[in-house]
Chains A and B, each alone.
Chain A
């Protein structure tokens, strides 16, 4: 910033603020105590006129730091939207007058609350700088696609159609992946009655005809470094040559491995050549080349085929897959049609527990199967026996509630999809007999991306080895910014869904590359231009920031200093919270922007009987919950001072110890749900904060303070009753414990 810092504080008198509060007193505080250079009150600050007043100060008075003392930062954001300045919001409406009763007794404490928030906002903005692009990105826009199956090919073709270059790296000798080994696919177009061509040859032709797409066959990615907008990948071919290319973003379409049906001896696999899996049947169907399908053992035409659904799936048995693979019911219907369409007299029976054919296309195709004479029987298969050339399927018929034997020429096991997600970087190290942890986890899989990230070579796995994301609203919320998985590596799926998924992933990759060039963050802090910087001279190389970053954004250099990769960063501030020597900060969010707010709450004398409770609330869930509580007229303690934070993970212990040392009587931290089903969009913020707070116990002890003075909670955005209650609980607890002795 070339210009001198000039702070403007603007106090709104609308929405009852003027009636309930002494706003001129607030203005005086903003000016005298918080040292705002320009202070103005307005009857209706968000009006065109009010906004113009602020804009005029920015344009003509040199104001470049603005503190809006009005409603919540979640309200009227369109009005208070100024360029190239730093801005803070004091929440006097939802945060003060709406949560306090309009009574004479409450007037004094309500006014104190408002004065504190105004003072805090001015001090906060005083320590902010308008963020600007670091220029770290190189503006690469090409998309690297790992995998040349349906998902990878689709991603490349769709990215190219939008004008972006794409490079496919496929480890085998041909494009097409699993789909190329199929005769037909499940129909994707109305009327959804018959199997369709796989579409592989069209995709391959489109790729060959498109000069924006490059393909490397028999190739793998042997090293990936960089960040969105400046990825660099080594692509090595089987022949031993390696090329290095730059990319803007990456799509991982590494697909799946077929479940090893040898683990199902009870279903006859491996014992009889005529017990095959679905891939095995595709092979037979291709070999039949339009003629009748013959069974492997003796080449006899199949007259009676049984499909066993959920083979080794949806089961807790060891070696089985606990999940459903989603496509197998439709695939078996398709495969039954291979027989029926060829010869309606062939018996085809599908033994299932739940037939899963969702949507319009799914149900139409199921009905078409029934129309073609495919038999569907609800049953649990216990055994497939072979004697001579005959197979016998033993199952419990759930409808007849009877054990049934069914003869068959051929049995097809609908086995599941196992994600090909590369190295599980979070695998718990195995302890050997002496109880020592093995330094390296025994890994039998090859890495897909070979990331040179400090946190490991591949994307973190979620449950059952599938990659990001488990968020319902955000299927592409990756834990490695700029790298998106799609297809069956993300969740089990059929080709239609893989096509949609790959197209979506292509968009996200393009978006990541575009945003990286502009220095803009990906969601949830979309568009945020700030990024972490650190004072290297203060760093002790403790590595906490590099370990705790949920997005693998921070590497280490040879001297073990952190190396930030701005465009990998999602701006949660977990690194800032982790740093014991407080050298990490963002231009608009730092130890100081929050620390100054904490310090500038006026601390009443111990004998005033006015405790102060610091509330650090996650900006996405707890803070909106408190806002909505206010909209509902729920009241909470006038002694609370709520500060929104980006993520509970950004909470630095210094805030807590400083608050305790300066006389706060209680501290409430509100983050998101942690654990396996974590709801934190910064992955582990809540969990990390919880761990850090366990260390506060020592501080409390050294100060001879009760441990109950600091409480950490999981708060959901719907907790509009509970969140205020938690604050009131702390107020009550403080009343019982007595005031903190650390007031000065």
Chain B
């Protein structure tokens, strides 16, 4: 990695999800030098795992495709995958950043021909499908993976599989001796776009995510709905592989809760409304959705999507925070218990499948940032002059939907440009 050139006029973007991609591209398309680093083997982030967006119901990878084309066409932008920041020192306009590069065991010769995956036998949980399926020990993260290069799972290194993979590669692309590397960069500004992770649903004890097979998260449901996903787009419930037709969506699973995440994660209501749409799309009048909610937060002009779903007779809205979930031992149906606060009626409703609309937790824990930043109680980076030339973008800044993340990332790109332009003395 000696060929990475960076100066105090370079902008470093940390995280290659939709926010990081956007910030990097917008800055690079203003003519700035940008380095985008991503921890995993491919950029695209959580957006690339979504089936459809609310409220347009268009496909997120369409936007990813456009962004990838922009990246491929732009020589101001350098993408480095499997890279993580370990330390940042310095000040606005002059930061020293140390980056850890994990071994991919596959070099740039890779043509993504797929021969290595054919010969490798070991299988691992597929993170891209939230572990709902298996992938090979030599794999391409997804069909949209960029860089479009295979990865060897470190779990096969030293095994016969690794040797087989190497032997199958005609292009000398597999390097089993690859080691972790360290890269030091000087940059002028940093855009922090490490995004979010789903709140650990198992911590919401009364919902039994860790006990009942047919209680899953909204992100897992998103993969089930995806024709490219583990079930080929069928809404199959985990316990018996049967199609789930009566599905409950529980809002604020971990959000707006003093015991879990204090904040509202913003996207979950619209996400569940979208999921109710998937149920209709799959089954028509045979599908049934129940949304348990505190407030439906279909904010601003996208409220019409909410009102459209409300008109669907097969979707029931119940104003209630579900108290607990039990399981019908015979059918493995989860049963939601609670009180409908509109009229104070108790209910015990069995469903085929329960989907927890899990909250958004910042990916980087408050105490693990590589440099001191002003971070709020919820763990999001505040916009504060004390942060110098380091700017949050997307869900590192707040619980945001994609549209607002992109908007925020575009703003962050300008803030970073202001720093490097000042460094360059270009003002005036």
On A, residues with C-beta under 8 Å from B are 14-16, 44, 46-47, 71, 74-78, 158, 161-163, 188-192, 212, 314, 316, 322-326, 352, 354-364, 367, 378, 398-399, 401, 463-464, 466, 470-476, 491-493, 497, 500-501, 503-504, 506-508, 510-511, 514-515, 523-524, 526-527, 620-621, 624, 628, 631-632, 673, 677, 679, 681, 716-718, 720-721
Contact = CB atoms under 8 A, between A and B. Distances in A.
Contact of B63 (A46, A161, A316, A471): A471
A175 B263 CA distance: 34
A473 B415 contact: no
Contacts of B422: 163
Contacts of B67: 473
Contacts of B113: 14-16
Contact of A314 (B51, B114, B303): B303
Given A472-B406, A474-B406, A492-B301, 16 more contacts: A14-B113, A15-B111, A76-B111, A76-B148, A77-B73, A158-B415, A163-B427, A326-B299, A358-B299, A363-B263, A364-B263, A378-B319, A401-B343, A504-B407, A673-B58, A677-B58
A463 B302 CA distance: 10
Contacts of B177: none
A595 B400 CA distance: 46
Interface stretch (B23-31, B152-160, B240-248, B281-289): B23-31
B410 A507 contact: yes
A628 B18 CA distance: 21
B256 A363 contact: yes
Nearest to B269: A354
30 contacts: A15-B113, A74-B69, A77-B72, A77-B73, A78-B72, A158-B411, A162-B414, A163-B418, A163-B421, A190-B382, A354-B296, A359-B263, A360-B378, A363-B256, A398-B342, A399-B342, A472-B53, A473-B66, A473-B402, A500-B411, A506-B414, A507-B414, A510-B417, A515-B29, A523-B29, A527-B73, A631-B114, A677-B58, A679-B58, A718-B51
Nearest to B27: A507
A714 to B, nearest CB: 11
A71 B140 CA distance: 17
B141 interface: no
Size category, B interface: 35 or more
Contact of A679 (B62, B148, B228): B62
B70 interface: yes
Contacts of A474: 63, 66, 406
B56 interface: yes
Taking each of B301, B374, B426, which has the highest tally of chain A beta carbons within 10 Å of its own beta carbon? B301
A151 B58 CA distance: 29
Interface in B392-428: 398-400, 402-404, 406-408, 410-411, 413-415, 417-418, 421-422, 426-428
Contacts of A399: 341-344
Taking each of A74, A162, A398, which has the highest tally of chain B beta carbons within 10 Å of its own beta carbon? A162
Interface of B: 18, 22, 25-26, 29-31, 47, 51, 53, 56-67, 69-70, 72-74, 109, 111-114, 140, 143-144, 148, 170-171, 226-228, 256, 262-264, 266, 295-304, 307, 319, 341-344, 374, 376-378, 380, 382-384, 398-400, 402-404, 406-408, 410-411, 413-415, 417-418, 421-422, 426-428
Nearest to B415: A503
B300 A323 contact: yes
Contacts of B61: 717-718
Contact of A162 (B70, B256, B378, B417): B417
B380 A360 contact: yes
Contacts of B376: 190-192, 360-361
Given A47-B109, A493-B300, A716-B62, A472 B411 contact: no
Contacts of B171: 14, 44, 47
B278 to A, nearest CB: 13
B228 A718 contact: yes
Contact of A360 (B341, B398, B411): B398
B291 to A, nearest CB: 12
Contacts of B72: 77-78
B264 A363 contact: yes
Nearest to B408: A500
Contacts of A631: 114, 140, 143
Contact of A718 (B29, B227, B262, B408): B227
